[in-house]
Structure 1
Amino acid sequence: MMKRMLAGKMVPAVGLGCMGMSEFYGETDDTQSLATLEAALDLGYRHFDTSDMYGSGHNEELLGKFIKRIGAKRQDVLIASKFGIYRDPSDKYKLLIEGSRDYVKKACEASLKRLNVEQIDLYYVHRRDPNTPIEETVGALAELVKEGKIGAIGLSEMSPETLRKAHAVHPIAALQSEYSLWSRDLEQTMLPLCEQLGIALVAYSPLGRGFLTGKLDKNQIQQSDAAADFRTKLPRFQGENFDHNLELVKTLEKMSAELGCSTAQLALAWLLDQYANLHVIPGTKRIAYLEGNFSAQNVQLDAAASAMLGKIFDPSAIAGKRYPDAILQGTNL
């Protein structure tokens, strides 16, 4: 097992992203999700990631039920949550951002209650509020650290400038950003800065929202109700972009077969090689995928294989943006 430091705890480098248990990826089933969470704990997962935005509080409540069930094992688990995004009542995909001091305190109290904990181990600013200085937001979080309500502060999808300003107010434990073979925007700026400042990087959507597993069905995705499956709105999953990107994944499948691992394991193993304190949080609602993802820590890549994957998935080779423009405008501020 590959353990790395995160928010003061040594945890396996592979954690569990819980978002899909509440929305964005088809039907939800709380009974199934709770069974998956418990199975993950039994397999060795210790890092569980959520947000108050996922299911408008539902995901935190689900984690709260899980925490209640595991009892004393809670001390071995790292619970990470986020605040700062809420929904426009008329459009669930229109994100509204808030980072004022009062909102920070209010959001934290609500999350503590839903999660059924006295302290959130790692609490992220989900997106930067352009109307509130990051110093005010992080200052409020620093007060929560002193009060014992959160253990460490994280940022999500922010610029190098914002990370530097935030870190000057209070040490930032982790930066969470989308990072995978087909989303590598942060390699030139954020990875070196995280290393310089001693900040962990938590990669969300490390399997390209399932695309890099090679198991997605184009017709199923593109014919899904957008309200149920978020991927129908993403440029990389649409039309010719899907077909183009699938050809890249076929190369990934061939390499994984030669190495004796799954396509998903190869994609995760490549990521884990990119930075000494990088964590991945692939999401799943199903027990069947837990062990394979977790075992990616055991896949050994030599320098030649790693370089080959980096070349195949050069950013210029990917068709389509990772988000629609309306969502991209709120990232990396």
Structure 2
Amino acid sequence: MTNVLSNETLIKQMNAILKAGNNVTLRDDNARAFFLDAVASAGTIGKLFVHFAKSGTGSLDKLGVKKRTLKKHLGINTEDTGTDIKEEGTVPFSLVPVYLDTWIENSNTFYTARTRGQDVRQALLSLMQAQYAADLQDLAFNGDESSTDAFVKLNDGYIKMAKASAEVKVEGTKLPTIQELTAATTRIEPKYLRQGTFKFFMSQATATNYVVELQNRNTALGDAVLVDGALRNIGGFGVEAVESMENNVILFTPYENLAVVSGLSVTLTTAAQDSRAVAKQATYHFMLDDVDFIIREPKALAYFGVNATPEG
């Protein structure tokens, strides 16, 4: 049963936090917990590969392991040559410092605390985590350092990287048909198709395009599946509808191939109450983290996009 806190208790908790402000740097386990709790609240990014970096630059192992590593045992004549099971090669990362500063209304804090049976500090943290997760997922897919948009240019995301490096690229003046999507999956080498659970990543609007295509067919071809009106499967592979993902772009790859790299520390600051906070009836919060987004193996990736103008 949810523990309902009284308004008096919530106000006392809020005042204790705001009396002199609050500034804390979460390290190691606490920072990892904060980050993992945050991404878990987002629809897609919590399913991706997460790596916690020990420094601002470094590298990740590429997706996959070597095949056919078994050897015949020769008894006492067996040599301890060993086999490195990791796939050859690594992919570099470079963390980018990002911050979130936000005003959270007192009414939202109290509502969240009461409905979840949390104290005020937990409620504020969960509200910040939800905002951070939404922004992180948006940036992870749509980021483009060449953009003039202050948010988008923070870091390159999966779409931009995929367009530049994907093993399979399909571009045209309109979205590919379901049959064209299915056919393109065969262009990924079988050894990479075995490396994880491949999905078609797309926005909800793009997925709706294929729902319409299916509904307009005279007969079903068995190459796609609708469940309760939602697109769930194309050519035997699941569909991941990504909130905030750019429309008219599709990525075909396993969850494990899209990596989110985070630093080992997260700084959280709550400002002391001043006249501005009183006027707003809100609290001001600042969060600092370091992140990067990595595609671990371009050979396990297909990119589908729509050109603004016809080719040629």
Structure with the bigger percentage of strand: 2
TM-score of Structure 1 vs Structure 2, range by shorter chain: under 0.3
Query: TM-score scaled by structure 1?
Result: 0.23
Higher helix share: 1
Looking at both structures, which has the greater relative contact order when contacts are Cα pairs under 8 Å and sequence separation is at least 6? 2
- TM-score, normalised via structure 2 length: 0.24
Higher CA-based Rg: 2
